[in-house]
């Protein structure tokens, strides 16, 4: 019984529907899209017609959804179309008939899966070809009986269903494999023993390279049977599949707690058992994630690498649990073109497969073929050839006589259509084909500018212009062998008489239709005696000429053959050989005395180096001048291996190859296959079949194809770079697009097309989860793409290393900002990469284009305070250095030393003001010494202002008294008063802390208080309940009342705090003050009454002006005081003017001159803050001035708005920041207190409880 059939129905995967013909599953020539859905493609109309019955339903669905469903849904839809037309594909087998309707579906056992599929199917389908029950039945049939659809290299490209071959039984050690060749399917034997019938053939329903428990579970769940095949009963094979490593000799041992190595007899240890079980669990659980294609590839790669790391010493190298990870890593390495890793992972895969599969198994064959291509990509062709030779027979069995071609397939190079082919029409008769070269037998050709020179066998030369103008002349009487152009000369080789070879040189500038004559003729008989000359090459600078002979010999002439008189000295660079006549020559002159000659015969290709007339030679494969000079071998691409080459034409980066092949359509016995290869990009730019044997030549940038049989001429024009890039980007072929754009950039230095491709490629790789390669593409977009776009993508913790790469590239290209620098530092910190971080910080600091304090601050917040302090010290960033030492490292001794040694006195004051309290608390002795030193220096240098350090002196009342007294002795008068108050406070603190008595306290401060009733003294009296001070205040109450320096209520509040004072002690003061206040009240009441009368009169006048007619009976001009005459001007203020008088006094026609002058003599308008400050400073009672301005609404929001509006007209403007009266919502920074005793933060309110407690600093606070 035959083990092959044609697939009943197939469906390509979503990624392959535009790559293969959806009927015959081949890639023949140019595929054409379905005119309906515009997605499914076919070889031509015939395949489309044959597939229409099955495609019709999915065509409408694709068109409606503007998208395509997966292959499983589309295969069921195709089968539903067949079911609806009663097309079941009946096949008679022995005593049964198999058809679509009779295939196994397991009844209701997988109904749950079928119902889930039905919902997906209904979302895509647009027409019901079958009932829901039929759709569910078809799903079950497909789930149980379908095969993976593979291409000629074993890669899965879809899914297919066979009626007959689906009968084959399962085995975990199968004797056949399913092989697709287009739509043709067969069971290919894995060994030399071919099953004699379908009943004896077995294949694996699942991946058989899994642990036995996993295989049995999968088969039971999906296919509803318990497997007892030869693979499951082979105990040693199954044990090896799950084997552990022997910890001693690395030989495989059984996965058991009591395993003993059969090689070294070592028993497994408990620790090694635990290690192996952990590796097994990691591989089992991890493989479930690694195998999921919906997870980004980079995440799967990371998991796979970790699995292999854990399994390294635990699981044996042939343990099948390693396979899933190795497959993913192998595919990822191929996708990223990491050839070394791909080869390493591929060899490990081959090693495992070889343990459980036969070398003739097609699974091994495909894997070896892939590895051979990897070796070739590595440049190790010699190692690849034996592997290719080994698998050649099996390929011949699979693909028949065409196997050698399929093995080559140009090494899997992708195919594109980057050229447009069209027939050339006659310019004089546009409707007719150009036949000007009909019956011309072209022997050789060359091109120069817009002309092509075609040499005919019989000695004629045709000159063809790109606009198809022709000219012909007879160059030789007998035959023409070769043509070559250099500069403005045409060189030809031929014979006027048989056996008389002659080199003729033609001046192209002097060729016209009237006369054609060679400028020089050189007979070759004197140079070559025994053979005819058949090949020619001339260097572009005319400094060397090479000729080749039919006997294989080669001669070189060094010099300008067009000018030299004596051209008889030729150097023999190759003797006659048995490999045939010379068919091709090329010369490259490296310098004056060194030339490189490439020689081609029908059997070989080699190079000859001529160094000062010394000849050396070495075989090569693919020409590269630099490689040949270094003695290395070139690359062999084996283009179109297995076919006779007719012609090879170089065209920029492309090579047009014309080969002779058997005709598929029997129009002629042979046909020509034209293939254009792009060597640097390693893809096929164009290919097509030509019905007859043709010739190629070029004119300018056009490849011409001449068909000698009918004389037709076709031209190939390369598509524009824009059209190519658009096509490649739509197909997500970004790597090819980038290579193409880079090649064009080398030509014209244009990066316009390149960076946008990198952007799209980076986005594509990012969406796939390949973050490593995505960041490489984003690096190339610097200068085009906004950096924040990339940073947002990679700021996640798992992608920080890629973010580092991008940010480093930003800095290397000098496209960074300070924010980018901070992000990169934070990234280094999160990664813990200290070496890179410190190197980067030093480089940036040295560049002086970065905010160094900000970087140091970032280091400190990241936990690298010690490094930040060292770096800040080296860079002279004192503020960051001290902050790191004090705030982060808490090394107070080092901080004091740094401040004293590194800073000048003025800066020492600044840093002591900021950090002094903390330093005094934790390092009092050294800090006090530093304070003493700075105060000593201040006595000698008046520019050192020590007042900011005053509040530090009040911290320790006992130790700072002597220091303050010493400072007072040498202080200036102003500072002495302030320091005196400090000393008073220190003494009062000593009294409050019971260090000195009340009498000692008063004795020490009595002289400093004197008769000065300042606010400071009252504050001190309020702070500390010291009776002698209170008594002193009572003595000076008369002066307080007289000078009005302090509000009496404040004095009373302070005195009321003392329980020892009676009311009689302050009765005269209170009585006198109250009587004065009573008198002020009476006076102000009278003033209020008078003002009310004035207001009433003003309201009456306003009402009169508003509602009553006004009679203006002024008789005299208010300006000249003469009788008023017309024309005149009148104002409601009762002023009138002659018009000419009015115009003399003002240009403002809306204002009265007299009233304007009077208004200008009034006090300064509200908002004159300088006047307000002056009044406050000079007033005996500042509170009265403040009350006055409050009554005038100086501090209201309306006044703020009015002042803001008036700034455009006022010559004196005030900023909100400088304005002490601005409202809070307009103040950008608080006004610092000028009180030297104030600390940075406001004092807290505390209840006074007598001695030993520190009361509130605010004299207006009440007891809580």
Q: What is the DSSP annotation of 20-64?
A: S-TTT----SS-EE-TTTSS-EESSHHHHHHHHHHHHHHHHHHHH
Instruction: Name the band, by pLDDT with cuts 50, 70 and 90, for residue 1013.
Output: very low
Q: Cis peptide leading into 1127, omega within 30 of 0? A: yes
Span 668-717, pLDDT tens digits: 778 888 999 888 887 888 988 888 888 899 998 899 999 888 889 999 99
Residue 544, pLDDT above cutoff 80: yes
Query: What mean pLDDT is predicted for residues 74-89?
Result: 91
Q: What pLDDT, on a 0 to 100 scale, did the predictor assign at position 1241?
A: 37
Neighbours of 589 (CB within 10 A): 17
pLDDT tens-digit map of 295-324: 888 888 989 999 999 998 899 999 999 999
Contact 853, 880 (CB under 8 A): yes
Indicate whether 720 pLDDT > 80: yes
pLDDT band, very low/low/confident/very high, at 1197 (cuts 50, 70, 90): low
As a whole number, mean pLDDT of residues 407-420 equals: 69
- CATH number, domain 237-412: 1.25.40.10
DSSP 433: B
| Beta carbons within 10 angstroms of residue 1080's beta carbon | 10
Which residues, at least 6 apart from 690, have a Cβ–Cβ distance to it below 8 Å? 671, 672, 673, 674, 705, 707
CA gap 1062, 1058 in Å, rounded: 9
Given a cut of 60, whether residue 1221 has pLDDT beyond it is no
Averaged pLDDT, 497-515? 86
Q: How many helices (H) and strands (E) does the chain have?
A: 43, 41
**Cβ contacts of 1122 within 8 Å, gap of 6 or more:** 1116, 1138
How far apart CA 1166 and CA 1194 sit, in angstroms, is 6
At 902-916, the pLDDT tens digits run 888 888 888 888 888
Q: How far apart are CA 614 and CA 606, in angstroms?
A: 17
Interval 473-487 mean pLDDT: 92
The pLDDT of residue 242 is 93
439 touches 472 (CB < 8 A): no
Spatial separation of the C-alpha atoms in residues 1128 and 1117, rounded to whole Å = 9
pLDDT at residue 877 tops 90: no
* Mean pLDDT of the 340-365 span: 91
Looking at residue 751, its pLDDT comes to: 58
Tell me, what's the pLDDT at 476?
93
pTM: 0.49
pLDDT score for 401: 47
Residues 6+ apart with CB under 8 A from 657: 639, 640, 645, 647, 648, 674, 675, 676, 677
Region 909-929: what's the mean pLDDT?
84
C-alpha 448/C-alpha 430 separation (Å) is 26
CA distance 72 to 62: 15
What pLDDT does 1195 receive? 58
**Cα dihedral: 893, 895, 899, 901 (round 10):** 60
Residue tagged 């050709």 (tokens): 445
CB 538 within 8 A of CB 484: yes
- In this prediction, residue 1210 carries a pLDDT of 38
783-797, 1027-1041, 1199-1213: range with lowest mean pLDDT = 1199-1213
How confident is the model over 912-928, as a mean pLDDT? 83
Give the pLDDT of residue 772. Answer: 83
Say how far apart CA 371 and CA 436 lie, in whole Å. Answer: 51
Q: Which of 271-275, 336-340, 499-503, 872-876 has the lowest mean pLDDT?
A: 336-340
Instruction: Let me know: does 173 contact 234? Beta carbons within 8 Å.
Output: yes
Mean per-residue pLDDT over the chain, rounded: 79
SS3 582: strand
Residue 750 banded pLDDT, cuts 50, 70, 90: low
- 858: pLDDT strictly greater than 50: yes
pLDDT band at 158 (very low <50, low <70, confident <90, very high): very high
Residue 303: what pLDDT?
92
Residue 54: HSE in the Cβ half-sphere, 13 Å Cα cutoff: 21
Q: How far is CA 1086 from the centre of its chain?
A: 83
Whether 742 has a pLDDT exceeding 70, the answer reads: yes
Q: How confident is the model at residue 578 (pLDDT cuts 50, 70, 90)?
A: confident
> pLDDT grade, residue 419 (50/70/90)?
very high
Closest CA to 88 of 180, 5, 161, 184: 161
Say if residue 1222's pLDDT is above 50: no
pLDDT at res. 950: 66
Given a cut of 90, whether residue 1239 has pLDDT beyond it is no
Q: How confident is the model at residue 579 (pLDDT cuts 50, 70, 90)?
A: confident
Confidence of residue 755 (pLDDT cuts 50, 70, 90): confident
pLDDT band (50, 70, 90) for residue 1037: low
pLDDT value of position 537: 93
How far does Cα 663 stand from its chain's mean position?
Answer: 50
Predicted pLDDT at 1227: 38
Q: What is the pLDDT of residue 93?
A: 81
Above pLDDT 90, what percent of the chain?
Answer: 21
User: Is the confidence at residue 981, as pLDDT, over 50?
Assistant: yes
Domain definitions of the chain by residue range: 4-212, 237-412
Is the pLDDT confidence value at 1118 over 90?
no
Question: Would you say residue 455 has pLDDT above 90?
Answer: yes
> Which pLDDT score, from 0 to 100, does residue 1251 have?
37
Q: Which of 59-68, 641-650, 737-746, 1165-1174 has the lowest mean pLDDT?
A: 1165-1174
Residue 55: closest CA among 9, 90, 110:
9
């Amino acid at each position: 019984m035959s083990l092959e059939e044609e697939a009943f129905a197939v469906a390509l995967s979503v990624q392959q529907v535009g790559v293969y013909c959806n009927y015959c599953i081949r890639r023949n020539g140019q595929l054409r899209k379905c005119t309906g859905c515009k997605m499914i493609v076919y070889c031509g109309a015939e395949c489309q017609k044959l597939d229409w019955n099955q495609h019709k339903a999915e065509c409408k669905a694709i068109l409606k959804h503007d998208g395509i469903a997966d292959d499983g849904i589309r295969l069921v839809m195709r089968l539903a179309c067949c079911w609806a037309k009663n097309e079941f594909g009946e096949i008679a087998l022995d005593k049964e008939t198999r058809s679509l309707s009779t295939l196994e579906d397991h009844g209701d056992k997988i109904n749950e899966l079928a119902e889930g599929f039905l919902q997906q199917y209904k979302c895509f389908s647009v027409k019901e070809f079958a009932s829901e029950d039929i759709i569910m039945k078809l799903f079950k049939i497909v789930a149980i009986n379908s095969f993976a659809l593979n291409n000629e290299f074993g890669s899965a490209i879809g899914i297919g269903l066979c009626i007959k071959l689906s009968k084959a039984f399962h085995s975990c050690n199968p004797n056949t494999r399913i092989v697709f060749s287009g739509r043709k399917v067969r069971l290919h034997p894995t060994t030399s023993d071919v099953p004699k019938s379908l009943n004896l053939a077995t294949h694996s329903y699942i991946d058989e390279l899994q642990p036995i428990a996993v295989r049995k579970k999968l088969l039971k769940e999906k296919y509803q049977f318990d497997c007892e095949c030869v693979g499951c009963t082979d105990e040693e094979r199954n044990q090896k599949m799950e084997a552990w490593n022997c910890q001693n000799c690395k030989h495989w041992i059984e996965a058991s707690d009591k395993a003993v190595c059969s090689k070294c007899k070592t028993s497994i240890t408990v620790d090694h058992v635990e290690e192996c079980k952990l590796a097994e669990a990691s591989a089992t659980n991890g493989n479930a994630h690694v195998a999921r294609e919906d997870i980004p590839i980079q995440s799967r790669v990371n998991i796979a690498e970790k699995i292999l790391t854990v399994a390294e010493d635990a699981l044996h190298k042939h343990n099948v649990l390693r396979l899933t990870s190795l497959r993913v890593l192998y595919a990822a390495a191929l996708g990223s073109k990491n050839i070394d890793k791909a080869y390493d992972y591929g060899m490990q895969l081959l090693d495992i497969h070889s343990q459980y599969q036969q070398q003739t198994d097609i699974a091994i064959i495909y894997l070896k073929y892939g590895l051979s291509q990897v070796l070739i990509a590595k440049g190790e062709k010699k190692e690849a050839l034996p592997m290719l030779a080994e698998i050649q027979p099996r390929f011949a069995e699979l693909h028949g006589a065409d196997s050698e071609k399929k093995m080559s397939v140009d090494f899997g190079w992708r195919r594109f259509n980057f050229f447009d082919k069209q027939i050339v029409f006659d310019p004089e008769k546009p409707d007719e084909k150009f036949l000007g070269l009909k019956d011309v037998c072209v022997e050789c050709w060359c091109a120069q500018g817009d002309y092509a020179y075609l040499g005919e066998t019989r000695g004629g030369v045709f000159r063809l212009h790109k606009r198809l103008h022709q000219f012909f002349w007879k160059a030789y009487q007998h035959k023409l062998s070769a043509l070559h152009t250099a500069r403005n000369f045409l060189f030809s080789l031929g014979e006027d008489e048989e056996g008389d070879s002659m080199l003729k040189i033609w001046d192209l500038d002097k060729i016209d239709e009237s006369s054609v004559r060679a400028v020089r003729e050189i007979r070759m008989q004197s140079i070559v005696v025994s053979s005819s000359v058949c090949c020619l090459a001339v260097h572009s600078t005319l400094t060397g000429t090479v000729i080749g002979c039919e006997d294989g010999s080669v001669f070189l002439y060094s010099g300008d053959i067009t000018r030299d008189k004596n051209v008889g000295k030729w150097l023999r660079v190759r003797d006659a050989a048995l490999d045939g006549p010379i068919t091709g020559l090329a010369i490259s002159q490296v310098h004056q005395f060194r030339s490189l000659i490439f020689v081609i015969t029908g059997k070989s290709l080699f190079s000859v180096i001529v160094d000062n007339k010394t000849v050396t030679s070495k075989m090569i494969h693919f020409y590269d001048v630099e490689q040949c000079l270094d003695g290395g071998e070139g690359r062999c691409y084996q283009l179109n291996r297995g076919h006779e080459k007719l012609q090879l034409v170089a065209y920029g980066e492309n090579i047009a190859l014309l080969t002779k092949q058997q005709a598929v359509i029997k129009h002629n016995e042979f046909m020509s296959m034209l293939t254009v290869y792009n060597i640097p990009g390693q893809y096929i730019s164009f290919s097509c079949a030509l019905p007859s044997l043709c010739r190629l030549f070029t004119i300018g940038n056009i490849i011409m194809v001449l068909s000698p049989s009918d004389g037709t001429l076709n031209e190939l024009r390369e598509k524009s770079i824009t059209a190519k890039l658009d096509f490649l980007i739509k197909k997500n072929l970004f790597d090819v697009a980038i290579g193409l754009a880079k090649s064009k950039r080398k030509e014209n230095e244009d990066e316009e097309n390149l960076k946008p491709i990198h952007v799209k490629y980076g986005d594509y790789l990012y969406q796939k989860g390949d973050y490593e390669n995505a960041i490489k593409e984003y690096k190339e977009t610097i200068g085009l793409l906004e950096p924040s776009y990339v940073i947002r993508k990679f700021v996640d913790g798992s992608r920080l290393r890629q973010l580092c790469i991008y940010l480093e590239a930003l800095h290397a290209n000098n496209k960074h900002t300070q924010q980018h620098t901070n992000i990169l530092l934070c990234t280094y910190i999160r990664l813990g990469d200290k070496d890179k971080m410190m190197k980067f910080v030093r480089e940036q600091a040295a560049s002086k284009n970065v905010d160094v304090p900000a970087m140091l601050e970032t280091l400190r917040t990241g936990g690298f305070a010690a490094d930040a302090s060292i770096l800040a010290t080296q860079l002279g960033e004192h503020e960051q250095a001290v902050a790191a030492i004090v705030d982060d490292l808490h090394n107070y001794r080092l901080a004091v030393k740094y401040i004293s040694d590194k800073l000048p006195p003025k800066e020492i004051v600044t840093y002591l003001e900021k950090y002094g309290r903390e330093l005094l608390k934790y390092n009092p002795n050294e800090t006090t010494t530093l304070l003493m030193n700075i105060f000593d220096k201040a006595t000698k240098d008046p520019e050192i202002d020590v007042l900011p350090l005053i509040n530090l002196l009040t911290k320790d009342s006992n130790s700072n008294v002597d220091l303050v007294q010493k400072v007072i002795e040498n202080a200036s008068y102003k500072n002495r008063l302030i320091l005196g108050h400090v000393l008073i406070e220190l003494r009062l603190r000593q009294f409050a802390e019971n260090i000195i008595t009340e009498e000692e306290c008063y004795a020490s401060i009595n002289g400093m208080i004197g008769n000065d009733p300042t606010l400071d003294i009252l504050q001190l009296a309020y702070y500390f309940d010291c009776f002698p001070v209170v008594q002193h205040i009572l003595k000076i109450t008369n002066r307080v009342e007289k000078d009005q320096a302090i509000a009496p209520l404040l004095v009373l509040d302070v005195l009321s705090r003392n329980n020892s004072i009676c009311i009689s002690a302050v009765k005269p003061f209170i009585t006198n003050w109250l009587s004065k206040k009573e008198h002020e009240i009476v006076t102000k009441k009278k003033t209020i009454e008078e003002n009310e009368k004035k207001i009433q009169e003003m309201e009456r006048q306003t009402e009169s002006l508003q509602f009553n007619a006004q009679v203006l009976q002024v008789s005299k001009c208010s300006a000249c005081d003469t009788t008023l005459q017309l024309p005149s001007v009148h104002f409601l203020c009762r002023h009138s003017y002659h018009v000419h008088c009015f115009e003399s006094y003002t240009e403002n026609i809306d204002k009265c001159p007299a009233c304007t002058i009077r208004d200008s003599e009034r006090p300064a308008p509200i908002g004159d803050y300088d006047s307000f400050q002056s009044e406050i400073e000079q007033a005996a009672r500042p509170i009265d001035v403040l009350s006055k301005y409050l009554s005038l609404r100086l501090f209201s929001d309306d006044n703020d708005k009015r002042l803001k509006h008036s700034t455009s007209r006022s010559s004196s403007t005030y900023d909100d920041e400088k304005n002490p009266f601005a409202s809070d919502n307009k103040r950008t920074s608080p006004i610092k207190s000028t009180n030297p005793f104030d600390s940075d933060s406001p004092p807290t309110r505390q209840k006074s409880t007598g001695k030993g407690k520190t009361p509130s600093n605010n004299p207006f606070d009440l007891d809580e």
